[in-house]
A = this chain, B = another copy of it.
Amino acid sequence: MDAMGRTTPPTLTGLTTYLLSRTGKAARGALAARLARRGLRLWHMAVLAALADFGPHAQRELSTRLGIDPSDVVKVVDELAAPGYVERSRDPADRRRVRVALTPSGRAALAELNDAAQEVGGAVLAPLDAREQATLHALLSRVYAGIEESSTP
């Protein structure tokens, strides 16, 4: 009797925005679940990645780079400093600024998080073969670039 099944309405699946939103949420959720094991959230990983890729930042720089509210940066950095993943130090040149730097332990943690993320990616993208995953990544990169550009004019 459940002939109409559990199928998602075609009106929705026909919308690329809908698919993006859904798959994105799934990806986000899976990733967040992995991070939660270590008591971290997505922003924590983003901050660690920024520090690893670009070296130490003042908190304000983290804010503009990642698009987080400066006020929230404080809290995220707090939570990263507690387990010793990052270190705060005052910038001697400009003593208002707090320089945030990655510790070795933070770098190691990031590596693990990255592995976890790769795993999650593998699971989510399982229906696609390697070639297709690559094209998906390429297309998404361009869409992402477009978004970044339009949000930071």
CB distance from A117 to the nearest CB of B (A): 5
Q: Which residues of B contact A49 (CB under 8 A)?
A: 9, 11-12
* Bound form: Cα–Cα A21–B21 in Å: 8
Q: How large is the interface on A (under 10, 10 to 19, 20 to 34, 35 or more residues)?
A: 35 or more
Counted per complex, copies of this chain come to: 2
Chain A residues within CB distance 8 Å of chain B: 2, 4-13, 15-28, 30-31, 42, 45-46, 49-50, 52-55, 61, 64-66, 110, 114, 117-118, 120-121, 124-128, 132-133, 135-137, 139-148, 151-152
By the criterion CB–CB under 8 Å, are B110 and A128 in contact?
A: no
The contact of A6 among B124, B143, B152, by CB within 8 Å, is B152
Say how far A64's CB is from chain B's closest CB, in angstroms: 6
